[in-house]
Structure 1
Amino acid sequence: MSQNLNLENIKKEKDGIDVLADIYLHAIFGEIVTPADLERFKWYGIYAQDEKQEYFKLKVPLSLGELNLNQLKILSQISKEFSDDTLIFSSEQKIEFKNLKIYDLPNIFNLLQEVNLKTHFEAGHTIRRVLTCPVNGIDDTQLFDVEPLANKLNDTFIGNKNFSNLPNKLQIAISGYEEGCNVQFTPDISFNATKDAKDKIVFSVKVLDKTIGYITPAQVIKTALALANIYKDFGDRINPQNSSFEFLVNNWGINKFFDILNSTVNYKIGKNLFIKEQIIPRKPRMGINKSKIEKQSYIGCKISSSTIQSSNLDNLTSLLEKYNASKIKITHKGNIIILDALSNSANDLAIELEKIDFNPFV
């Protein structure tokens, strides 16, 4: 549908982040949503499933892919009350609900709000939630715990109206590993931890998976802001086919892009640092793995189907409570990792997880 619309005109008429009141009005009065507003609704993760708009889909992006027990319970409740008793664990670290009625959206938003789940900046011409590795902070082969930086990146960009109207979407990733995270596609911008010759942590700055320089951890947020502003100011807003971040970089060439980036920050982005090669092997993520946190393990479970029955989500939540685990992450392949299983009962938990189709033994 968006191919036949001028999205720049649509955004000039009303910013996508300003459409929440319209969503509620449509929910109350049940009027057909205009094509322009359907595009704006995507800023809040809402998509029409059919031309008659009888049903809608809602995508809920997860901060760092994580869910706690209360959030799992609310997701199950939404599934039962509004979405045919099912939901989807997406490989994009999102939860998807289908077959929703538009008049139920306010109630759904209220339930999500209760457990600090929000859908704004799910799509549209925005900066998406930052991608990180699912075992960040608990895997001892990781060079650097990037969770504080990842949270700061989300706090800086998500919901920030200065970044709700870009030429197109922008995806940032940050990793505590040299090789980054296996996110199934190439992020526009990546920051990967590594060590220099003096054994100090630095981050490689990758643009479309090409390293253009190195910065300190303290410079990550400023560099991300500079990169986002370059795209916001210079990305093509005339030809939709040329609106991507990738087109801008390729059109300028990587050297010009680096020079412009370097000129917009008040520090030097290192280009020729001697990097100390790391030889620590990566641990597997499926199965039972010892955590950095004392007396804890993390358990990676393969899911046979991304569509989850609410009853099975309840079974998962009950098992987590039974074994005193409190949070999971959805991986970039749509599987799950239980983050804080107690080591002395991890095997028993794993055996019970297999019985409900969350399989650690793969």
Structure 2
Amino acid sequence: MSNNLALNIEKIKKEKSGIDVLADIYFYAVFGEKMSLEDLERFKWYGLYAQDEQQNYFKLRIPLFMGELNLIQLKTLSLISKKYSNETLIFSDEQKIELTNLKVFDLPEIFKLLQEIKLNTYFEAGHTVRRVLTCPVNGIDHTQLLDVEPLANKLNETFIGNKNFENLPNKLQIAISGYEEGCDVRFTPDVSFNATKDEKDKIIFAVKILDKIIGYITPAQVINTAKAIANIYKDFGDRENPKRSTFEYLVNNWGFNKFSDILNSTINYKIQRNINKIENIVPRKPRLGINKSKIEGESYIGCRIGSSTIKSTNIDTLSSLLEKYEASRVKITHKGNIIILDVPTSSAENLAKELEKINFNPFI
């Protein structure tokens, strides 16, 4: 085996699918043997990483659907942290929760607890289509053109855990937004679908490859377009040279025109390159502080977090405050902050003041 594991990644994937390794993780947990380098690479498909060469400790990254956590999930993650981790949770700007300092023999119980609260770690990493990125205030912001949650859920159902998309040349990141300008995710997604309106005031989506719009489609065409793009990457992406295996390299090597032509040849409709559309002139405002929700009687509170590493005791206090003020859902933003989504407007000011005391600060 070469010391440069990246040079052998295709061989590793051919020997065993990264999505079929959960039983192997359990084997190591029961017998305590040191994991092979090949298996460590495959275990990334399940969000599992060794923290040290001796494999004394592991970290587990948990990707969140649309960045969201409900009250039960928050409480259970805090419990896992106190019992099996180091009494902290890491909120990442990739809308993931990270647990560290885990022991291998505790992993089966951790996976069981996650399954009970409908969280999972597969397709966290590896050469897969990742969970779709969306805007944290999707569905509750007045300035949004379209609530894209149904489409985001369908994209996740199409790709996450699907063996047809678990062996790409490298990762593929898709984003979908109800805003014309897209979501502020700090990096350029491989593929983006951004809502806008045509001259007849109908919702359409701009298809962006890397950071370039290649045309426009209807909402009903989003899923098939995403599948076509993923299949093109799967079939034509470079599997020989790891440095050339990215989606970005494929597009830049071909050029946008060739990529668009091949994409159009694989679908039974045409991506419209030129279209008259209405410019959206409503600016998107910052999400911190208390904001009125489009849901009657509710507000949302955006809180800046000083550190991405949060003590489980603070999570417990947060959960208690949510219960006290009849809120139940939070989202991690693309900058690692949190937004409490469903606060009764009558309670929002009081909740915000209490959040400030535990360093979930809505007033910065």
Shorter-chain TM-score category? over 0.9
The aligned residue for residue 264 of structure 1 is: 266
Secondary structure of residue in 2 paired with 1:325: coil
1:233: which partner in 2? 235
- What is the match of residue 149 of structure 2? 147
Task: Quote the offset at 1:284 in angstroms.
Answer: 2.1
**Cα distance, 1:84 vs. partner?**
1.1
The one of 309, 312, 323 aligned to 1:310: 312
The alignment covers a number of residue pairs equal to: 362
What corresponds to 1:50 in structure 2? 52
Deviation at 1:199? 1.0
Rounded Cα–Cα distance in structure 2 between residues aligned with 1:5 and 1:67: 37
Distance 1:188 1:59 in 2: 21
Partner of 1:136: 138
Letter in 2 for 1:32: K
1:175 to 177, 193, 212: 177
Q: Report the counterpart of residue 212 of structure 1 in structure 2.
A: 214
Could you tell me whether the CA contact under 8 Å between 2:7 and 2:242 is conserved in 1? no
CA-atom RMSD in angstroms? 0.8
Gaps of 5+ in 2: none
Counterpart of 1:198 in 2: which secondary structure?
coil
Deviation, 1:4, is 5.1
The letter of the residue matching 1:359 is N
Distance 1:142 1:64 in 2: 16
**Cα distance in 1 for residues equivalent to 2:87 and 2:189:** 33
Tell me by how many angstroms 1:161 deviates.
0.4
Identical counterparts, % of pairs: 74
* TM-fit CA distance, 1:3: 4.5
Q: Does 1:14 align with 2:16?
A: yes
**Residue type of the alignment partner of 2:122:** H
Q: Give the alignment partner of residue 39 of structure 1, picking from 32, 41, 44.
A: 41
Alpha-carbon distance between aligned partners in 1 of 2:30 and 2:4, rounded to the nearest angstrom: 25
SS at structure 1 position matched to 2:99: strand
Aligned to 1:242: 244
Q: TM-score, normalised by structure 2?
A: 0.98
Gaps of 5+ in 1: none
Question: Does residue 1:339 correspond to 2:344, yes or no?
Answer: no
Q: Could you tell me whether the CA contact under 8 Å between 1:88 and 1:308 is conserved in 2?
A: yes
Q: For 1:175-194, list aligned pairs within 5 A.
A: 175-194=177-196
Aligned to 1:88: 90
Secondary structure, counterpart of 2:273 in structure 1: coil
**Counterpart Cα distance in 2 of 1:300 and 1:84:** 27
Aligned partners of 1:2 and 1:39 also within 8 Å: no
Give the letter for the 2:138 counterpart. N
Could you tell me how far apart the structure 2 residues matched to 1:25 and 1:173 are?
36
For residue 289 of structure 2, the aligned residue among 287, 291, 297 is 287
Residue type of the partner of 1:350?
A: A
CA distance in 2, matches of 1:244, 1:6: 16
Confirm or deny: 8 A CA contact 2:6 2:242 kept in the other structure.
no
Matching residue of 1:355: 357
Aligned to 1:6, what secondary structure does the other structure show?
Answer: helix
Contact 1:197 1:275 (8 Å CA) reproduced: yes
* SS of structure 2 residue aligned to 1:99: strand
Query: Following TM superposition, by how much is the alpha carbon of 1:197 offset from its aligned partner in structure 2, in angstroms?
Result: 1.2
What is the CA–CA distance in structure 2 between the aligned matches of 1:242 and 1:36, rounded to whole Å? 21
Aligned to 2:160: 158
When residues 205 and 96 of structure 1 are mapped into structure 2, their CA distance, relative to the original with a 3 A threshold, is same
> Conserved in 2, the CA contact under 8 Å of 1:299 and 1:350?
yes
